[in-house]
Structure 1
Amino acid sequence: MGRAEVRKAQQRGARRAPSGRAKGAKGSGGTGKRTGIRRFFTWKKILGTFFALALLGMGVLVGLYFYVDEPDPNKQALQQSNVYKYADGTIMATKGKVNREILPIDKIPMDVQEAFIAIENKSFRSDGGVDFKGLARGLWNTATGRGKAGGSTITQQYVKNYYLTQEQTPTRKLKELVISLKVDQRMKKPEILAGYLNTSYFGRGAYGIQAAAQAYYGVDAEKLTLEQGAYLATLVQAPSQYDWSTASDDTKKRIKIRYDATLVNMVDMKKLDETKRQGMKFAEPMQPQPPAGMDGQKGYLVQAAEAELNAQGVEKKLIDAGGWTFTLNIDPKKQEALETAVQEELESKLDRKDTKERPQDQSVQAGATSVDPKTGHIVAMYGGTGLKDHWSSNALRKDYQPGSTFKPIVLASALENASKTQDGKPITPNALYDGTSKRPVVGSDIPFAPQNQENRNFGDPMMTVQDATNSSVNSVYAQMIVDVEPPNVKKTALQIGMKDREGWPADKPAMALGTMSANTVEMAAVYATLDNHGKKVTPTIIKKAEHKDREVEPAQPVGTQAISRRTADTVTKVLTGVVNDDGASGNKVRSSAYEAAGKTGTTENNFSGWFAGYTPELVTVVAIFGEEPGTAKQVTLTGTAGLGRLGGSSFPATIWKAYTTAALKGGNAGKFQLSEADMGAVQTPSRSASPSATPSQSSSPPAATNSPTQSPTTSPTPTATKTGPTPSGTTSPTATATKTNGPKPPDPPVLGEHPGN
């Protein structure tokens, strides 16, 4: 027997019933008949059922074809205006005139037409309006978890835009299929393509390719280059997400991938020469231009309102279609107070025209969010100098780190989890930690030895958590997060208002220094939750969103208990020390006009500075960012306004104080009710071999040569016996170790804190 015959014999044997299951074999019952459920599910029955269902579906489709008529164009195509009101009912702005100009197909360059066909529907010129193979593939991908159902042709998208709505329901999808078949029979392909290009939404309020060409490149559609057209074809799938001016670095990579796919498909379709494709460069669109009436902060407030409604599940396209009346939670008096504070405390001190002597002044961006902690309403917001100068709101941006404004979350998590130090003592505001700069953390699989500001040591070497918070000591909080465990801290952060994002270093002790990304709204949520005695606050800018064709349930800004009242009130009491204690990093905002708590924050390389503070009535987070003009590149703030290094205790703190003083003027400046705050027992330094009490002497200079953090305008750092006013008229916890101060280097001037502080 040859090899071929051997293989055939083996294959025949492999197809036989396994041993013990052949006809008449033991255990088979000796009958060879299928038993149980196998009698009902055979391949013949399964295939028969499948084809029967397929025939039934075809029958239903045929019936619908004769039953469903082409409807009139939908009213959504007739765009209306949106009206935006302040909380008191006065009109803030009106937005939305029809931004559409219908073009005949011969006014759109042929290679631009082909770009849309290449990425959206390669079979457009030959299909019958519906690509059943693509539709089946999309449904299969959805069923197998490989992505959402796709397969919509250009004809289907035109039908959806022109005749139907954007709702995702089986009924609407069936109508779309049937009407697409009819439209394809009635209309020529160039007419369908023109209809698709004239009705598609491209973002920036632009409906149709003519409006898109003007919005993104400042030209008429007939003058679009292939590179520009390829970007618009890329954009149409996700207009808000794929707008180059606001896209993150990761999203820009996805835009480039889809852009390249458009051109590669054109080569495959013989509509573009490969050599020409290789020489083409991506055409970056211009920055968005604000619509009329969106000057000052109005445009940013509209952005925030629409983003919030979008997050509630209302598509951006439906919002831009108009017909909405938005009543915002913005208090016009507080809004004016915030704008004035930024102008007087920051903008008036910058020289944005002198690019030679004051180059850093061109890079400064400011953002702020102010919230009523009892209602969760955003009562004021600052997004930047105006949409014409900076399109995206600085209050909403998520590309900067919050620095040491994150440290109170570490403390809250320690209290909530009843965590202990390395020597087994409870972590409380009176707990002791080693304040030596560059001290390696103990108990972490990931090495970390952060430097305090100017490499200064704090304590002798031990200090209380209260004092470490006042001076924002990195080495203390780096060890504390190890003691609490970083995943527990992240859990607490998400519970009280932060958002989970890609790149969050959930297992690293560096998280204690605020190395994740966040925006001012998120940090306002965190501090409002603390202010609200631990009840979850989700800041909202929309009071009401009304539309005659749909209903939107208002968001519930105040939720259930996120952390215990004892934890929240204890953290608040500690943060009053940051404001009230002499020499503390937030001392600059202290005032007899109100009782306040807060925390400063400065990020690595001095890219941003933050101040998050609150009174019983008002929570406000102010941040400044260093951003290279015309790009999203982060740059240092050092040198701004002709000064040195800037931190949270500089411009953010002064803006916060000016705004809060004005916003509360004439109001009832209440007192914190902190009856459940628990500062813990005063601890005595342990001189055992305990890791938390033993500094790494080889990694930092002696304590006698350094001094604690302070701004040039603050009082000298207190000794261990200092006291300071706290809520309810009590004193701050007494430190058990003496701080030894050394001379402060005069150059460069320090106006904030070290990275992470």
Structure 2
Amino acid sequence: MRERETTAEPGTAAGTAAAGPAAARPRRTGYHRIIDYPRQGRTGWRRLVPSWRLVCGSLLGSVTVLAGLVIAVYATVKVPDINKLKMPTATVYEYSDGTVFYAVGLQNRQLVPISRVPTVMRDSIVSIENPTFYSDAGVAPKGIVRALVSDVQGGEFEGGSTITQQFVKNAYLTDQQTYTRKLVEIFKAVKITQTFPKTEILDDYLNTVYFGRGSYGIEAASETYFGVPVDQITDPGRAAYLAALVNEPTVLSQTDPVSQKLLKARWTLVLKAMVKAGRLTPAQMEAATWPTALVPAGVVSYDANGVDDSAMAQVADTYLDRLHQQNPNVPDSATAHAGGDVIRTTFDRADMAAAVRAVKSGLDDRLNPKSRSQATVDRGVQVGLASVDTRSGELLAFYPGAGGQYDDATLAQIEPGSQMSAFAFAASLGPGTTGAGGAGSGGTGSVTFGSNSSPDSGNAAQLWALMGRVGLTQNLQANPGELPEPLGKLSKDPQLALGIAPESPVRMAAAYAAFADGGVYHELSMALAVTVNGRTVWTYRPQGTPAVSADTAAEVTGLLAAQGQVSGVDSTAALPAGEVAGQSGTIGGDTSAWYSGYTTGIATTVGLWDQLVDSKGRTVVHSLDHLGDVPAAQSAIWPTGIWQDYMQAVTGGQSTPFPSPPQSVAVGASQAPAPEEGARSGFVPAPAPSLTAPPSATAGNGRRTPSPRTSGTSADTSSDASSSIPSAPLPATHSAPPSPSTPPTPPTPPS
């Protein structure tokens, strides 16, 4: 039907309006907006008020879209198989015999079945975290609403998620606060509840939930807070304590007064929840006592024998980083700390304990740090000890010092002094020559060890080359800032033979080990095997390289074995004559004191010094003069005594004689001056120990028969020394060396 047209009279108001621009635009008939907003036919603020039809339509549309989204997400969420859930575990560090001594990782976790978790422990968790756990569908709408109301009103904090939801979040999702993550969490919880029994869900939840202090799972939490496995948590007090931590583990696990007050309030709430759920009677609640938790472990961790477990892990981590650079399949220390790996180290459990005892008996028990005259030097002295397997380069034991993050055995860089005289003498001989006035000695004549002299102190180039072949330049090149002069100048310094290049005890022990193994040097190793996700990715296979000829090694050993005494202490008292060789060392008379000695199976170095870094970053060296009331001239008595106690303990007083040295050594040794007389006043050296030991306790090379080690550490040997380098025999067996009547074939001298 056509609209009726009207005509406005000229001069009227209607006519005037029609004459405007709108009059030229005819109105469209039959047109309506889908969304009438702002509303037509309204003026002012009324145009902005939506109609009830718009409001209802918007709500209906939103519900429809949301329902569609929920259906779509629910359809795409798959039921996770909790039986195939892989829970991260800690990385463990083991002694050479497989005994675990340290664990580290992002998740310190030890899995336990639900059958080992006491009922009171299960009830405490369920009562406070999800009272309807055994009957709900995986989600609890009332619990969410109740938690929201409690939070708004400022009441006790309550979690809105059920145990099943928490398990899903811990095992499959993240802590990201998004609606999508929450929706997926709810749907997975529902589907898991429909698929798996409640006991199985609770089992996995207790193995994944975090309790603070780096402990994941109920077993790790029990060990961390009470030092017992979870099956011993049978009282409501300790059970409620662990259950209370789940709410805010990072805060409630702290030991400050505020955190402890919050934890105790939560602990009371757990007990009340158990009573409300019928899991505990009011009388039992009243009888429950606040438990005493263990003090959190510090950075340094010691075992019952005083062995620094954290230092062993630190040394192993440094070695891992080196291995990772050579073999990417080996995890570096940062990756290992994420958990799941097994690091089998070279450290011998009994030898590590023996090192602690030797330092205690040989030094600590003889000092008097409380004396006013002795306070400075007796309190500040530092000790480093390192013991190396001569045939494989394995670091068997070390003493890192008394606490702290600095390892005196492997990290310290101290001038070794006359410790270098043995290497200076070996370098002066040249390849395949003999010294002590014998043929081919180059006219060097006999050598007096133990003094700050060298047969050829000016020939620094030969000595530097030998130092490189026995690993004594590695730390120098890696840490040039520790050197007394630039590296290029140091390598040519005529005083290099006087021990001015700083070294660590572990490097010195490995270098001396070459003399014990016929001149063959083995690079240091701190690990036997590395396992990642149950698969062994690396196994140690010792390999040796010739450093000096066998004749030179035998000559040096013969002279060192003839030293006899050092400052009144019989350095060979720990082992029979001819089965041990050693060399003391001092620098500057009073800044450091050393002793290095070896049998056919073990080389051990002990070093003492007293230095620190001041507030301005400068290294301040203190004198060892009158350490334990001993004058500086006799300071070598301390490392010698420690060495003696340690070697007696680890060898049982038995070893295998060294191969016979060249004839010239016997001549030179007979001409050597008598050892220095006069032990310090008031110091009585330990008497020579009994050299009798049970046959089962020791092997014929001065090593106890070790426990079986990881397979695959053996290396083939070769009798053709001219064409190949003789590899070390199996470290686990520590087979005896050739008899003195049949000296080993010397390896091909290096070019």
Q: In terms of Rg, which structure is larger?
A: 2
Taking structure 2 as the reference length, the TM-score comes to 0.47
Q: Which has the higher contact order (CA 8 A, sep 6+)?
A: 1
